[in-house]
Amino acid sequence: MPLAAGYFGMILTHWIEYLRCPKCSRTGDAELFEISPFNNGFRRIADGFKVVHLRHGKDFYCGTCDIPVAP
C-alpha cells in the first residue's frame, strides 16, 4: 500500500518496487515516489541495478545483464 509523505510542501505517494532479473535471477528493490501523476522519481535502488531513461519514461535494468528487470 502506498504511503503518504511530505516533499517540499507537497503530498506525494511513495512505494517499493521489487526487482528481479529474468536472466541471472538477481533480486533487489527500489524506493520510488510520485512527483506528479505522470512523473515518478526514485530515492534509492539496490546494488546491481540501474535506471535507464527511455523515450517514454524510466525503466530498471540489471547492471550485469543490461536487460529490463521484472517487477
Q: What is the pLDDT of residues 31-69, one digit of tens each?
A: 988 777 667 777 899 999 999 988 877 889 999 999 999
Q: Is residue 67 part of a domain?
A: no
Domain count, the chain: 1
Interval 10-33: pLDDT, tens = 556 888 999 999 999 999 999 988
Within a domain: 17: yes
69 is a domain residue:
no
Residue 68 lies in a domain: no
> Domain for residue 71, yes or no?
no
Query: Residue-wise over 23-61: b if at least 16 C-beta within 10 A, else e?
Result: eeebebebebbbeeeeebeeeebeebbeeeeeeeeeebb
**pTM of the predicted structure, to 2 decimals:** 0.73
Domain range spanning residue 34?
Answer: 3-62
